[in-house]
């Protein structure tokens, strides 16, 4: 039983306490006997304290480690390697609210968090400001947080969080059950994004010199050497600036960041200002996806050295990527989407959705589509759809306009 669960139980008990209507009268009548019973009352209190002392150890309450930068004892976070498990409740939907209030899940994935966004001006420059809502494990609902970035680990037990005004110089390891930061991981180079390894025991934290969420018009242009034009006679396209400097590999169990790995900011581009690193499927490399651009993905080993793509690597065309069994590939954004066989490239199904976000299992995907009738393509919600495009099940109510400030963006995580 966690401290939050214990607190809720005690509150429920307190509401069941009945106060007699003649309590004041009883107190006056018994005043004369108070002195005689004081000693007995003290003995009773002592007995009660002793009983509680025996009972409390039976309630398991986790001890919270001191922040890693507090000079306390070494931090130990009890993370365990993630293992996929079956779920009795296969589909959880919330069609009443947008953004959702109740937990959303389908098959092996869940909406672990979502954020709303708006533009704000900092020193005369536009920057994206996110408000994060993270899943509450006790109530199975989404709670507003104060974080500037949140990334939930596979299994939904832990989250990595960053404070507002990115980039920042420490990473929080959040306990999803108690809603408390278990440990802080200090870093010398400020970081603006984090990603969990497939087994949920490590993080790759991407470092930036400036905010990774600057509007492209405020980011400037790179000073990288020019590349050859895309085709003869065409001018070389402008390259969007990035302040990304490298990455850290964080061991979550000990709440420690390894040596900083500097990365050449000119190796890959053009692209977004935010260019976070993520993990390869086997957790041996980190990479930057280029599925929106006609360039190969960029891989690095864990020391920050450029690396070839893994053997048998299939470049993703969407956020969903390759199916869990490795046989199918989710296609590019745009209605209708499609799914192809990895081995042959044959189209095995088309779906009336705008984006394919994650695989629920080997035959179903979670995507952005219409929960009912849509006024335009930007009015959409989460939908569970079969590979062949049939049996579409809405999971959330529609977003009014996903391109406008105030809209919410889901984050899907293996559960």
| One-character DSSP codes across 398-415 | PBS-TTSTT-EEEEEEE-
Gap between the Cα atoms of 67 and 181, Å rounded? 9
Most distant pair of Cα atoms in the chain: their distance: 106
147 contact partners, CB below 8 Å, separation of at least 6: 132, 134, 161, 162, 163, 164, 172
Which pLDDT score is estimated for 12? 47
Q: Judge if the upstream peptide bond of residue 99 is cis by omega within 30 degrees of 0.
A: yes
Q: Is residue 207 one of the residues assigned to a domain?
A: no
Helix segments in 145-265, DSSP class H: 216-219
Gap between the Cα atoms of 246 and 260, Å rounded? 7
Cβ–Cβ < 8 Å for 239, 221: yes
Of 119, 146, 120, the closest CA to residue 132 belongs to 146
393 contact partners, CB below 8 Å, separation of at least 6: 91, 93, 106, 383, 384, 385
Q: Is residue 153 one of the residues assigned to a domain?
A: no
Which pLDDT score is estimated for 221? 53
Give the pTM: 0.79
Number of domains within the chain: 1
User: Is residue 26 within a helix (H) or strand (E), and if so which, with residue range?
Assistant: helix 23-29
Domain region containing 55: 1-12+41-61
Cβ–Cβ < 8 Å for 133, 101: no
Which pLDDT score is estimated for 37? 43
Phi and psi at residue 189, to the nearest 5°: -95, 125
Which pLDDT score is estimated for 371? 57
Gap between the Cα atoms of 365 and 353, Å rounded? 10
Of 353, 316, 344, the closest CA to residue 331 belongs to 316
In a 13 Å sphere around the CA of 179, the CA atoms on its Cβ side amount to 18
Cβ–Cβ < 8 Å for 64, 182: yes
20 contact partners, CB below 8 Å, separation of at least 6: 26
78 contact partners, CB below 8 Å, separation of at least 6: 253
Of 132, 150, 253, 221, the closest CA to residue 192 belongs to 150
Which pLDDT score is estimated for 44? 44
Q: Is residue 190 one of the residues assigned to a domain?
A: no
Q: Is residue 350 one of the residues assigned to a domain?
A: no
Q: Judge if the upstream peptide bond of residue 347 is cis by omega within 30 degrees of 0.
A: no
Of 85, 276, 78, the closest CA to residue 196 belongs to 276
Distance from first CA to last CA of the chain, Å, rounded?
21
Distance (Å) of CA 365 to CA 91, 261, 369, 394, 395? 12, 35, 11, 12, 12
Positions in the chain whose pLDDT score sits under 70: 1-73, 87-89, 217-241, 267-272, 290-296, 371-377, 402
Gap between the Cα atoms of 330 and 323, Å rounded? 8
Which pLDDT score is estimated for 380? 87
Gap between the Cα atoms of 174 and 190, Å rounded? 19
Q: Is residue 241 one of the residues assigned to a domain?
A: no
Residue located via tokens 């293992």:
83
Q: Is residue 47 one of the residues assigned to a domain?
A: yes
Provide the strand spans (E) within 3-69.
Answer: none
Q: Is residue 415 one of the residues assigned to a domain?
A: no
Q: Is residue 7 one of the residues assigned to a domain?
A: yes
Of 95, 63, 175, the closest CA to residue 394 belongs to 95
């Amino acid at each position: 039983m966690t401290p939050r669960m214990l607190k809720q139980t005690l509150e429920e008990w307190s509401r069941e306490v009945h106060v007699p209507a003649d309590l004041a009268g009883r107190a006056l009548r018994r005043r004369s006997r108070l002195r005689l019973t004081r000693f007995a009352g003290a003995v009773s209190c002592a007995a009660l304290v002793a009983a509680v002392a025996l009972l409390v150890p039976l309630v398991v309450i986790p001890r919270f480690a001191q922040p890693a930068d507090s000079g306390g004892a070494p931090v130990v976070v009890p993370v365990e390697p993630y293992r996929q498990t079956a779920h009795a409740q296969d589909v959880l939907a919330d069609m009443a609210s947008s953004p959702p209030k109740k937990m959303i899940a389908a098959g092996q994935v869940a909406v672990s968090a979502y954020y709303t966004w708006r533009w704000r001006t900092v020193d005369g420059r536009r920057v994206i400001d996110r408000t994060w809502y993270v899943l509450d494990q006790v109530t199975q609902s989404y709670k507003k947080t104060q974080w500037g970035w949140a990334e939930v680990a596979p299994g939904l037990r832990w989250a990595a969080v960053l404070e507002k005004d990115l980039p920042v110089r420490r990473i929080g390891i959040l306990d999803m059950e108690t809603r408390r930061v278990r440990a802080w991981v200090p870093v010398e180079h400020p970081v603006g994004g984090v990603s969990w390894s497939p087994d949920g025991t490590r993080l790759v934290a991407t470092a930036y010199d400036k905010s990774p969420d600057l509007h492209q018009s405020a980011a400037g242009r790179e000073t990288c050497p020019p590349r050859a034009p895309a085709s003869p006679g065409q001018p070389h396209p402008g390259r969007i600036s990035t302040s990304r400097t490298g990455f850290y590999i964080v061991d979550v169990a000990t709440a420690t960041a390894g040596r900083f790995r500097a990365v050449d900011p000119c190796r890959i581009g053009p692209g977004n200002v935010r260019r976070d690193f993520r993990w390869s499927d086997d957790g041996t490399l980190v990479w930057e996806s280029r599925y929106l651009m006609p360039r190969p993905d960029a891989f690095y080993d864990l020391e920050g050295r450029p690396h070839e793509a893994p053997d048998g690597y299939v470049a993703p065309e969407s956020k969903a990527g390759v199916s869990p069994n490795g046989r199918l590939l989710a296609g590019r954004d745009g209605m209708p989407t499609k799914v192809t066989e990895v081995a042959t490239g044959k189209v095995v199904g088309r779906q009336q959705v705008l984006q394919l976000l994650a695989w629920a299992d080997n035959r179903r995907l979670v995507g952005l589509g219409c929960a009912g009738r849509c006024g335009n393509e930007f009015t959409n919600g989460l939908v569970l759809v079969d590979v062949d495009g049939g049996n579409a099940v809405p999971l959330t109510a529609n977003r009014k306009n996903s391109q406008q400030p105030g809209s919410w963006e889901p984050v899907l995580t293996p559960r």
